[in-house]
Amino acid sequence: MHDVVVIGGGCIGSATALQLQRAQPGIDVVVIEPDPTYATAATMRATGGVRQLFTRQENIALSQYTLDVIHDWACFLGLSEEAPDLDWTPNGYLFIAPRETTKTLEQNYAVQTSLGVAAEWLDLPELAARFPQLETNDLGPAVLSPHDGWLDPHAFLKGTRQAAQRRGVAYLTDRVTELSTAGPRVTGVTLASGKALTADSFVDAAGVAAPKLAAQAGMPLPVEPMPRHEHYVDAPGDYTELPFIKDPDGLAVRPEGSGLAVGLVDFDRPASVDLPADHGYFDHHVWPALAHRIPGLDSLRLRRTWSGHYDQNRLDGNMIIGNWPGHVENFFVASGFSGHGLMHSPGVGRALAELIVHGKYRTIDLTAMGYQRVPDDKPYPELGVR
């Protein structure tokens, strides 16, 4: 009998395991992870971005906590010596937008600065002067968060997982195939190996596999595996000082080594467990958008394309976290991050630990992100760039 079984050992599951140990040292936690190499895990295919430019206070607070973790990484891991290098690149985030959305951008900027985000409002002349590489004739003002940036997802996961293991968390290479229930509680899990585990509490942090398990617990999730592509290109010129650039149409560009990492997310893309090949998507969609926004990139060389999944929350694009009081008491979901999982994993793990150990949130109140909004059909979306 364990205290907590965590299903999924990626960034969310490992952060939850570590935060449980931080909240209650000695708690008996086992993490079930089918692939310890994480070859196809969403964590390993993430861009590694951490930004405060959200419109919901919960997402802003979670990002601010992650920045605190990054800046005191060794302490978070419980190390007195040097921690694994995160390759943190604090170039900032730049949100660009068309003129017709200026009022919305301004409203979002007011929310962000009121919540402590050190963001800068750039009018069009200043935007063009600060970032002469960009085509700005079709843009309005922009917002820059200069203290944000990106990190190495592999190092982030490795450091978190090892810290959890040093504190006594057990990782079991296996896959959960079935849940056992009794009334409003989950009583155990059956693994692909045939082994069965029982526990007081369970956390479903299984990424795109989370909805299948949650449904067995009586908590249907509006979450689908949405394929996405990321591309690495060599380009003429020096773009190393650019921030992470995002626009409302899904274009995302940031420096990577001597080149650029580029993505163009289609949030309407149908769900698919398989990862389809690019089949010209870069040439026909990504490159034209990129060359328009950064005219110097009409000449470039595509070096690599890789694919991954967003656990896309089709209700509103924000995470779904927690149990369902009065219905499923001891089964806690952490799903539907829609591309923000790595970014928010330290705070999500802490929030789940607070719910399990203390029965309530003690730091960031994530009630608005809770499961109840699913059966109530009450979306809680971001009000700008996702």
Q: Do 162 and 301 share a structural domain?
A: no
Q: Which amino acid is at 342?
A: L
Q: How far apart are CA 162 and CA 172, in angstroms?
A: 14
* Tokens coding 258: 């001597």
Whole-structure pTM value? 0.95
Q: Do 272 and 330 share a structural domain?
A: no
Residuewise pLDDT in 10s, the chain (386 residues): 899 999 999 999 999 999 999 999 999 999 999 998 887 777 777 789 999 999 999 999 999 999 999 999 999 999 987 888 999 999 999 999 999 999 999 999 999 999 999 999 999 999 999 999 999 999 999 999 999 999 999 999 999 999 999 999 999 999 999 999 998 999 999 999 999 999 999 999 999 999 999 999 999 999 998 878 888 999 888 899 999 999 877 889 999 988 999 988 777 777 666 666 666 888 888 889 999 999 988 788 888 887 777 788 999 999 999 999 999 999 999 999 988 999 999 999 999 999 999 999 999 999 999 999 999 999 999 987 76
Q: How far apart are CA 6 and CA 12, in angstroms?
A: 10
Listed in sequence order, the residues at least 6 apart from 68 whose beta carbon sits closer than 8 Å to its beta carbon are none
Q: How far apart are CA 386 and CA 384, in angstroms?
A: 6
Q: Do 320 and 305 share a structural domain?
A: no
* Domain encompassing residue 126: 93-148+225-309
> Considering only CA atoms, which of 152, 64, 55 is closest in space to residue 107?
55
Domain termination residue (choose one: 277, 309, 341): 309
> Considering only CA atoms, which of 237, 69, 220, 219 is closest in space to residue 151?
69
Q: Which amino acid is at 63?
A: S
Q: How far apart are CA 74 and CA 169, in angstroms?
A: 18
| Number of domain units in the chain | 2
Q: Do 178 and 218 share a structural domain?
A: yes
Strands 223-234 and 301-313, sheet pairing: antiparallel
Q: How far apart are CA 34 and CA 305, in angstroms?
A: 25
Q: Do 252 and 345 share a structural domain?
A: no
CB 289 within 8 A of CB 322: no
